[in-house]
Structure 1
Amino acid sequence: MVSGTLVYVGAFSLLFVFWAYGIVSFALDCKNKFLPALARLVANWRASRRERTEESEREQRERQLY
């Protein structure tokens, strides 16, 4: 009876360790990989939008000159 309980608690503890490791690993992946990639994506999107706006303003000024 006692040895069955010890096996159950030991197995549960081992599974808990892997579960906790998975959560910590996922959180670190998000912090170190996914969030910087998302920040670069947003920065590139904003830069391209800014370039398009500047280009259209430049073309509009050129049309007004002629």
Structure 2
Amino acid sequence: MMSEAALVYFGAGSLLFVFWAYGIVSFALDCKNRFFPAAARLVANWRARRRERTDEEEREQREKQLY
């Protein structure tokens, strides 16, 4: 009787471990394939907007100096 209980206990623990490990791997792959590229695009857009704004300000300053 005791060995059957131990077998069920460790079997259930092993099954739960498999799902736990699957969840961790899925989260890591989601981060790699979805969240990190989205964050990189967001930062690139911020930098592009800042660059466009500074270019526009420089152009306006040059135009003011011409007149």
TM-score bracket relative to the smaller structure = over 0.9
Partner of 1:22: 23
Alpha-carbon shift at residue 12 of structure 1 (Å): 0.2
Deviation per CA, 1:14-44: give whole Å up to 9, x if none: 0000000000000000000000000100100
2-side partners of 1:10 and 1:60: how far apart?
A: 73
Under a length normalisation based on structure 1, what TM-score does the superposition of the two structures give? Answer: 0.99
Q: Which amino acid aligns with 1:35?
A: F
Work out the number of aligned pairs and report it.
66
Partner of 1:6: 7
User: Alignment partner of 1:18: what SS?
Assistant: helix
Q: Which amino acid aligns with 2:22?
A: Y
Alpha-carbon shift at residue 51 of structure 1 (Å): 0.1
Alignment of 1:50-65 (within 5 A): 50-65=51-66
Equivalent pairs: percent with the same residue? 80
**Residue segments in structure 1 that go unaligned for 5+ positions in a row:** none
Q: Which amino acid aligns with 1:65?
A: L
Under a length normalisation based on structure 2, what TM-score does the superposition of the two structures give? Answer: 0.97
Runs (4+) of structure 1 exceeding 6 A deviation are none
